[in-house]
Amino acid sequence: MALRDKKDLKKVVRSFGYAFEGLIQVIKTETNMQIHVCASIVVLALGAWCQLSAMEWIIVLLLIAGMFSLELINTAIEKAVDLITKTHHPLAKHAKDAAAAAVLIYACFAVVIGIIIFGKYLLE
């Protein structure tokens, strides 16, 4: 591996480190993310108990990953808006509300899909 390749590898490793730092920071400080993490643990345990099929696991894992990703994006938008303006501004409120709405819509559909997947196991 050439010296340049080692530097590139260090940059990649460092960027993963920053990503993990961001994830841990959001989990530690954002109540909604803590709720998502707890709900995910319950869903994963329930999935194991119900012995979900491979396709059901794929759907559940995609829903969890999507929920985490949207919550991280929502938090990033909120923090960026807060950094730009400390005063109440209608456009800042609109940006934060729209990001929160994206999380809400995804969460609602995730619950509906969860009911569809788990319903047949829990209602037997």
Q: What pLDDT was estimated at residue 32?
A: 96
Domain locations along the chain: 32-122
Supply the pLDDT for residue 37: 98
Whether residue 56 lies in the annotated active site:
no
Angle between the 54-84 and 31-50 helix axes, to the nearest 10 degrees? 180
CATH 2.40.50.140 for domain 32-122, yes or no, is no
Rounded Cα gap, residues 63 and 107, in angstroms: 9
Neighbours of 97 (CB within 10 A): 11
User: What is residue 1's predicted lDDT score, i.e. its pLDDT?
Assistant: 47
C-alpha count within 13 angstroms, C-beta hemisphere, residue 90: 0
Average pLDDT, the chain: 93
Residue ranges for the chain with pLDDT beneath 50? 1
Active-site residue, selected from the candidate residues 21, 30, 56, 71: 71
Tokens coding 106: 């995804």
Per-residue confidence (pLDDT) for residue 2, from 0 to 100: 53
